[in-house]
Amino acid sequence: MASKKGVRIIITLECTECRSNTNKRSPGVSRYTSTKNRRNTTGRMELKKFCTHCNGHTVHKEIK
């Protein structure tokens, strides 16, 4: 039986476009809070999310 505790952890996903594109009009970085399964995802999570600052779907990367 698998334990219910300690597998899913909360992570923060940040828009990679916002971070690289510094001369865009609106300052700020799109952030999402998500959870991940530590057992299945060992590396950094990457998800395509809608960024309000970039006005489109961009890759959001897990940050610490």
Please tell me whether residue 54 binds Zn ion under the rule CB under 5 A: yes
Q: How far is CA 7 from CA 3, 15, 47, 57, 61, in A?
A: 8, 25, 19, 28, 20
**Closest to Zn ion by CB, 11 or 51:** 51
- Let me know how many helices (H) and strands (E) the chain has, helices first: 1, 4
- Per-residue x/- marks for Zn ion, 1-40, CB under 5 A? --------------x-xx-----------x----------
Give how many residues touch Zn ion by CB under 5 A: 7
Contact 58, 51 (CB under 8 A): yes
Binding site for Zn ion (CB under 5 A): 15, 17-18, 30, 51, 53-54
